[in-house]
């Protein structure tokens, strides 16, 4: 069959698809520059040879990776000298308040899941994917929790604080609150609020560091617990469940029943999670998360929360770019 390539029908999605299929190159370059320590090495500006010497890398290839970093707008070049951009100083240094270094370390671990995806789909078993190499394997939990800080601190927590009204409320329980960043931002936004970050002991150790770092220890306490065995507490007038109701495998019913018991009548439940649309056609962020971990559709999530006995269950905001939604509901009466 003869096909005239000059006369093909216009398919507007072509350029997007051609970018998506190898978007991994930019991702891999950024993760490699972080893993090799380029950004920490550039706290002081330097040449490619300086960076190579500080990071024990090959000078010629270092120069090429730094050129990619310039194109990614995390490094600037002035002749032979490279320096961090304000974006990199804000996000890519370990001690920055909104650091995403944990997020990049976590992405490095997730890389191996995505690399093994064909085998995972063939077998139906997540364990079919290769394990990440050291040091990522043994620091997985720590990287995961710091990853949540990087995500929350760079827009997501602010988005929640803009969309939820907690004025007049005084006791927030942040169930499986990870690094505590949502509690920090909500307490900063609502002056009468205090919070408790409730999570596994190894996570609480990190939350304490983050809460201290932001000078919020007077208003935010911590409590170690395990949702398999422990109740969440009682007497709270608002309760956040962020990224812990990841679809059918997440035992959402059990967690929501404990949440109901922890809230006093009139208490507000806030759920933040990935949400697919009811047609199961996207958004992309939610569909990808559903493939890796699991996610409810919007309708399923509303129904699961209603079935747990909450009333006035409403989707109050959604962010299609991330594929996430924010839901509030009310605990009307004690059991």
Ligand X SMILES: C[S@@+](CC[C@H](N)C(=O)[O-])C[C@H]1O[C@@H](n2cnc3c(N)ncnc32)[C@H](O)[C@@H]1O
Q: Which of 116, 177, 267, 285 binds ligand X (CB under 6 A)?
A: 177
Q: Does 203 engage in binding with ligand X (CB under 6 A)?
A: yes
Tokens for 96, please give them. Answer: 């920055």
Q: Least CB distance from residue 264 to ligand X, whole Å?
A: 22
Q: Which of 178, 267, 283, 285 binds ligand X (CB under 6 A)?
A: 178
Using the structure block, give the residue that is written with the tokens 């827009």: 155
**Residue number, nearest CB to ligand X:** 178
Site string for ligand X, 78-117 (x = CB under 6 A): ----------------------------------------
Q: Does 242 engage in binding with ligand X (CB under 6 A)?
A: yes
Q: Which of 48, 75, 148, 153 binds ligand X (CB under 6 A)?
A: 148
Q: What is the DSSP string of 45-75?
A: -B-HHHHHHHHT--HHHHHHHHHHHHHTTSE
- How distant, in Å, are the alpha carbons of 55, 111, 213, 218 from that of 292? 33, 11, 32, 38
d(CA 333, CA 310): 9
Q: Is the dihedral of CA 85, 88, 94, 95 positive or negative?
A: positive
Given the complex with ligand X, which of 62 and 101 has the nearer CB atom? 101
Closest CA to 233 of 206, 203, 267, 207: 267
Using the structure block, give the residue that is written with the tokens 């085998």: 119
Q: Does 243 engage in binding with ligand X (CB under 6 A)?
A: yes
Contact residues for 131 (Cβ-Cβ < 8 A; gap 6+): 112, 137
Q: Which of 66, 75, 91, 152 binds ligand X (CB under 6 A)?
A: 152
Q: Least CB distance from residue 224 to ligand X, whole Å?
A: 9
Binding site for ligand X (CB under 6 A): 145, 148, 152, 176-178, 199-200, 203, 225-228, 242-244
């Amino acid at each position: 069959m003869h096909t005239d390539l000059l006369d093909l029908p216009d398919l507007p999605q072509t350029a997007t698809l051609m970018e998506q299929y190898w978007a991994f190159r930019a991702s891999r370059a950024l993760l490699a520059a972080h893993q090799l320590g380029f950004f920490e090495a550039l706290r002081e500006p330097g040449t490619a040879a300086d960076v190579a010497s500080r990071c024990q890398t090959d000078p010629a290839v270092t120069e090429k990776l730094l050129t990619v970093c310039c194109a990614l707008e995390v490094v600037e070049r002035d002749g032979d000298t490279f320096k961090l951009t304000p974006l990199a100083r804000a996000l890519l240094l370990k001690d920055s308040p909104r650091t995403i270094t944990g997020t990049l370390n976590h992405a490095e671990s997730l890389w191996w899941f995505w690399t093994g995806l064909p085998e995972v789909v063939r077998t139906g078993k997540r364990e079919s994917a290769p394990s990440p190499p050291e040091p990522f394997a043994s620091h997985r939990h720590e990287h995961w929790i710091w990853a949540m800080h990087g995500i929350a601190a760079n827009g997501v927590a602010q988005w929640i604080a803009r969309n939820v009204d907690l004025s007049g409320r005084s006791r927030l329980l942040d169930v499986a609150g990870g690094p505590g960043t949502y509690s920090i931002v909500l307490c900063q936004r609502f002056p009468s609020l205090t919070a408790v970050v409730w999570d596994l002991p190894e996570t609480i150790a990190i939350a304490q560091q983050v809460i201290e770092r932001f000078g919020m220890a007077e208003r935010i306490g911590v409590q170690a617990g395990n949702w398999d065995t422990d109740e969440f507490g009682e007497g709270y007038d608002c309760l956040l469940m962020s990224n812990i109701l990841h679809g059918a495998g997440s035992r959402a019913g059990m967690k929501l029943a404990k949440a109901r018991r922890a809230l006093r009548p009139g208490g507000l439940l806030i759920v933040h999670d990935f949400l697919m649309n009811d047609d199961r056609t996207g958004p992309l962020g939610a569909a990808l998360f559903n493939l890796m971990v699991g996610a409810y559709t919007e309708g399923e999530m509303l129904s699961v929360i209603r079935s747990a006995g909450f009333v006035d269950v409403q989707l109050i905001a959604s962010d299609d770019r991330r594929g996430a939604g924010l839901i509030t509901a009310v605990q009307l009466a004690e059991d």
